[in-house]
Amino acid sequence: MSDETLQFSEREALLFHSEGRPGKIEIIASKPMATQRDLALAYSPGVAVPVQAIYDDPATVYDYTAKGNLVAVISNGTAILGMGNLGPLASKPVMEGKAVLFKRFADVDAIDIELKTEDVNRFIDAVELMEPTFGGINLEDIKAPECFIIEQALRERMNIPVFHDDQHGTAIITAAGLINACLLTGRKLSEVKIVVNGAGAAAIACTELVKAMGVRGDNVILCDRKGVIYQGREGVDQWKSAHAAITETRTLTEALVGADVFLGLSAAGSLTPEMVKDMAPAPIIFAMANPEPEIRPELAMAARPDAIVATGRSDYPNQVNNVLGFPFIFRGALDVRATGINDAMKIAAANAIAELARERVPEEVAAAYGVRHSFGPTYIIPAPFDPRLMEVVPVAVAKAAMASGVATKPILDIEAYRHSLRARLNPTTSVLSMAYEGARAHPKRVIFAEGEEEVVLRAAIAFKEGGYGTPVLVGRDDVPDRLRALGVTDPESFELHNSRVSPLVPKMVDFLYERLQRRGYLRRDCERMVNQDRNIFGALLLQLGEGDAMITGITRTYSETMRQIRRVIDPVTGKTPFGIHLLVGQSHTVFIADTTVNERPTAEQLADFAEQTAAVARRMGHEPRVAFLSYSNFGNPKGEWLDNIRDAVTVLDGRKVGFEYEGEMAPDVALNPKQLANYPFARLSGPANVLIMPGLQSAHISAKLLRELGGDSVIGPMLIGMEKPVQVAPMTSTASELVTLAVLAAGGIAR
């Protein structure tokens, strides 16, 4: 089910989709295209060689083109996100979003295609004609019953996987949860009595899948708006009639008496506490209507404390979220070049997801979601951002495809395949996603010190409406008017601190004067700073416990902002504060330090930066490999400014740290395995992912160049080593970047 519990202002949503390059996807060449020779190989005349090879052996199209990793996300916009028939143009943002999820979760390249037709036959013909282009077809947001006809026809006509996620994605995740709920309550699938409320695409797919998994047909009752679908009822189409029950019950209320399971894919409020009370002991309730479920979990639990409840929402336990399934199902199907996605593959995916939920929850997932460390009634479905999904589900799907005879390229070494899956994705992305979920589970108060700036206000709005915590704004009396101009209807709900009228000012002045009186500051100097400087005032709010973290930096240079903060907040005892930039790619992250604070760090400081950055890398899911960078590789060429780098390595030798490190070395040796091979004595087992720079000039220049010219996303700088969680953002930061820093600061990842 889609997660619609997060709320954003319309302005913020539109800005997200329109800022920079409009939309959410782009095409990037996977081969170099810089020289005439590159172009000649890519197109004419070089392209003639693979053309002939594919003509001679069509199977080689997977070797010489992107077909094997390319999925079409196709819709005609007749059933968009529960909003109804808004047409193909309006469906494009959704289909682009689905393409992004494919890439983000399973490294599957996907392209959205919106078809301007509601004619079933024209739709089928159009998709069928595209078979040479794609390795798989994901159908999306097509209304019933047309979606059934379209999918069935395409599965029969096409020799690649065709999957309607609205049907089967929901069914697979529901089945996984049902397996575990039955296990917890001592039930067998062959014996459970199920009532399905709703008879649309997802409901019928759920019904078909649980029957395929062993639920007896006579133990399933399907209901629609008119009540029970029973044999002999008039006006029932062929897809509903296929599941018509032999029963005397006619209403949902009657059908639920003694039922073990309720599967709701219908409408808010359709399941009442009284109905829940009539169900069997330890009832299993999947209330999956979005954004409001058939019954709120707290109402269901009040009626039956022994119930197990799942919803489609992320703010309750046991979220039925399709993103647990479709990216990984296609990953496995594409990797064995399956000719389709059959019941065996769906059941394998459901069992794999169910088994994953029964394993011990990783510490980072548990911390992010606030879940128990063991399988139980409030954790029957894995968290959507569990990084293990990428290994577990595609392997299960691939095995099932091979066993059922639809795989045309069997995988001979499953363990090697599992390892390749792990390498396809960047763990940073999962950690960042879990950091956001952790912020929602444990919201904090974050001080936005520059609360009069539009970009800061937009970040504060997103932070609040995203449920990540409470923004504490520092600004003057016109901030509410500025919030209204950004579309906020209740600006009074935002907490605002104005230094001109704040009752905290006397306490702040006392605090600051006590700190600075022996550094040449008079009391009136402290009064002026508190009243006039937002960074001083914001940092004092943090010191006095009015917030849990602080974000600033938009209006002043980094060095000036740091000087102001240091007047109020000290570094951690024995530590030197420094900054880290993160370069985040599809399958890699590189941490660069110190990029912001220390111009000529000593050997001891460089060693400290290495240890602390390695700790950040581990918190973000990476095993650190540290390189101390230089223009010299182990003394060649010789230079006058290498002692601090060499001595830093010696310092770490004495500390006996638990991570790989090496230096001094040039960036190409640190990052390129071929270059590293020239130094067989080097202690790095692979390319470095933590780069310790020799000084601020090289570090700052490198970070800024990479931000402006590099192809990776850049996060940071993250300020490390201060007593209080405070982050100084670049002056060019976007609202989204400010929110990310706020979440990382509040969650303790950046510390």
Q: Which amino acids are annotated catalytic?
A: 98
Closest CA to 370 of 317, 329, 432: 317
Give me Rg for the CA atoms of the chain.
29
CA 684 to chain centre: 30
Q: Is 510 annotated as a binding residue?
A: no
Task: Give the CA angle between residues 295, 300, 305 to the nearest 5°.
Answer: 170
Per the CB < 8 A criterion, the answer to whether 326 and 2 are in contact is: no
Q: How far is CA 70 from CA 73, 88, 140, 220, 327, in A?
A: 10, 21, 16, 38, 12
SS3 392: helix
Per the CB < 8 A criterion, the answer to whether 154 and 147 are in contact is: no
| The dihedral sign for the CA sequence 628, 634, 636, 639 | positive
Q: Is 84 annotated as a binding residue?
A: yes
Q: Is 113 annotated as a binding residue?
A: no
Q: Is 426 annotated as a binding residue?
A: no
- Distance from C-alpha of 85 to C-alpha of 108, rounded to nearest angstrom: 28
**Which residues, other chains included, contact 16 with Cβ-Cβ below 8 Å and sequence gap of 6+?**
736
- Distance from C-alpha of 636 to C-alpha of 552, rounded to nearest angstrom: 42
Q: Is 69 annotated as a binding residue?
A: no
β-pairing verdict for 713-720 and 578-584: antiparallel
Closest CA to 335 of 409, 392, 415: 409
- Distance from C-alpha of 498 to C-alpha of 639, rounded to nearest angstrom: 54
Q: Is 149 annotated as a binding residue?
A: no
Phi and psi, residue 720, nearest 5°: -115, 140
Q: Is 264 annotated as a binding residue?
A: no
Q: Is 10 annotated as a binding residue?
A: no
Q: Is 664 annotated as a binding residue?
A: no
CA 151 to chain centre: 29
Q: Is 271 annotated as a binding residue?
A: no
**Which residues, other chains included, contact 739 with Cβ-Cβ below 8 Å and sequence gap of 6+?**
459, 462, 463, 466, 468
- Distance from C-alpha of 592 to C-alpha of 704, rounded to nearest angstrom: 11
- Distance from C-alpha of 598 to C-alpha of 582, rounded to nearest angstrom: 18
Q: Is 80 annotated as a binding residue?
A: yes
For every residue of 437-458, DSSP letters joined together read HHHHHS-EEEEETTTTSHHHHH
Q: Is 141 annotated as a binding residue?
A: yes
SS3 624: coil
| The dihedral sign for the CA sequence 106, 108, 114, 119 | negative
Strands (E), 21-147: 70-75, 109-114, 136-139
For every residue of 729-743, DSSP letters joined together read --TT--HHHHHHHHH
Binding site as annotated, residues for NADP(+): 80-87
Binding site as annotated, residues for a divalent metal cation: 140-141, 166, 290
Binding site as annotated, residues: 80-87, 140-141, 166, 290
